[in-house]
Amino acid sequence: MEDLSQEVVRLSKINSAGLINMRINNIWIEVNKAAVSGNYLHWNSQLDRIWCELVGDIKKGKEDKDGKYKDVMIMSVLLRKA
Protein backbone atom coordinates (compact mmCIF):
# COMPACT_ATOMS: atom_id res chain seq x y z
CA MET A 1 0.00 0.00 0.00
CA GLU A 2 1.22 3.50 -0.84
CA ASP A 3 2.18 5.89 1.95
CA LEU A 4 -0.06 8.94 1.41
CA SER A 5 1.80 11.09 3.94
CA GLN A 6 4.75 11.57 1.59
CA GLU A 7 4.54 14.15 -1.15
CA VAL A 8 5.26 12.77 -4.58
CA VAL A 9 7.35 15.05 -6.77
CA ARG A 10 7.20 14.38 -10.47
CA LEU A 11 9.06 16.38 -13.06
CA SER A 12 7.98 16.64 -16.65
CA LYS A 13 10.36 15.10 -19.16
CA ILE A 14 9.64 18.02 -21.48
CA ASN A 15 10.26 21.43 -19.95
CA SER A 16 8.58 24.64 -21.03
CA ALA A 17 11.67 25.96 -22.83
CA GLY A 18 11.71 22.87 -25.00
CA LEU A 19 8.04 23.32 -25.86
CA ILE A 20 8.59 26.97 -26.75
CA ASN A 21 11.48 26.01 -29.02
CA MET A 22 9.31 23.40 -30.75
CA ARG A 23 6.50 25.92 -31.32
CA ILE A 24 8.93 28.53 -32.66
CA ASN A 25 10.46 25.96 -34.99
CA ASN A 26 7.03 25.04 -36.38
CA ILE A 27 6.14 28.70 -36.88
CA TRP A 28 9.51 29.36 -38.53
CA ILE A 29 8.74 26.66 -41.11
CA GLU A 30 5.55 28.56 -41.95
CA VAL A 31 7.53 31.82 -42.18
CA ASN A 32 9.84 30.29 -44.77
CA LYS A 33 6.94 28.89 -46.82
CA ALA A 34 5.21 32.27 -46.85
CA ALA A 35 8.39 34.13 -47.82
CA VAL A 36 9.15 31.77 -50.70
CA SER A 37 5.59 32.00 -52.04
CA GLY A 38 5.57 35.80 -51.74
CA ASN A 39 2.66 35.83 -49.30
CA TYR A 40 3.99 38.70 -47.21
CA LEU A 41 0.79 39.21 -45.22
CA HIS A 42 0.99 35.63 -43.92
CA TRP A 43 4.76 36.00 -43.50
CA ASN A 44 4.28 39.07 -41.32
CA SER A 45 1.58 37.45 -39.18
CA GLN A 46 3.78 34.40 -38.57
CA LEU A 47 6.67 36.64 -37.50
CA ASP A 48 4.26 38.32 -35.09
CA ARG A 49 3.44 34.90 -33.64
CA ILE A 50 7.14 34.26 -33.03
CA TRP A 51 7.40 37.64 -31.31
CA CYS A 52 4.44 36.70 -29.09
CA GLU A 53 6.22 33.50 -28.06
CA LEU A 54 9.33 35.44 -27.05
CA VAL A 55 7.81 38.61 -25.58
CA GLY A 56 6.91 36.92 -22.30
CA ASP A 57 10.58 36.50 -21.53
CA ILE A 58 11.64 40.11 -22.02
CA LYS A 59 12.88 41.66 -18.81
CA LYS A 60 13.47 45.29 -17.91
CA GLY A 61 17.03 46.50 -17.71
CA LYS A 62 18.62 48.60 -15.00
CA GLU A 63 17.55 52.16 -14.27
CA ASP A 64 19.63 54.78 -15.98
CA LYS A 65 20.68 58.07 -14.37
CA ASP A 66 17.35 59.72 -15.34
CA GLY A 67 15.41 57.11 -13.40
CA LYS A 68 14.07 55.53 -16.57
CA TYR A 69 14.46 51.89 -17.39
CA LYS A 70 16.41 50.85 -20.40
CA ASP A 71 14.66 48.01 -22.13
CA VAL A 72 16.97 45.07 -22.38
CA MET A 73 15.74 42.06 -24.21
CA ILE A 74 16.79 38.92 -22.45
CA MET A 75 15.23 35.94 -24.06
CA SER A 76 15.52 33.56 -21.18
CA VAL A 77 14.02 30.86 -23.35
CA LEU A 78 17.39 30.65 -25.05
CA LEU A 79 19.33 30.96 -21.80
CA ARG A 80 17.47 28.44 -19.65
CA LYS A 81 19.22 25.27 -18.78
CA ALA A 82 17.52 22.16 -20.05
Distance, in Å, from the CA atom of 66 to the CA atom of 27, rounded to the nearest integer, reads: 39
pTM above 0.95, yes or no: no
Distance, in Å, from the CA atom of 82 to the CA atom of 77, rounded to the nearest integer, reads: 10
- What pLDDT is recorded for position 77? 39
Q: What is the helix (H) or strand (E) element at residue 79, kind and residue range?
A: helix 76-79
pLDDT digits over 18-71, tens only?
Answer: 888 899 999 999 999 999 999 999 999 999 999 888 876 655 555 556 655 555
